[in-house]
Amino acid sequence: MVIEGWVTALTLAFGVAAAVVGVAAYLRLYRRQNPDQAPRKAEASLRDSWKSQEEPNDQELPPQE
């Protein structure tokens, strides 16, 4: 069974269009639920990781034998 070239092109175009529409719909939904929280969370986690590297560890480790 040989599939014509235009059928393949049409199927691929439909798949790409469906993927683009799906991603756009997902992003609209995600942004509507979490407005501007994602960048702040990323900045906060970066800030926390820098703090944990700068602060000395107050707990002493037991001597290893």
pTM over 0.85: no
Terminal-to-terminal C-alpha distance of the chain:
74
What are the sequence ranges of the domains in the chain? 5-49
The pLDDT tens digits for 16-52 are 999 999 999 999 998 877 756 555 555 666 667 666 6
Confidence at 65, pLDDT banded by 50, 70, 90: low
Helix, strand or coil, per DSSP, at residue 15: helix
**pLDDT at position 61 over 90:** no
- 16 vs 57, residue with greater confidence: 16
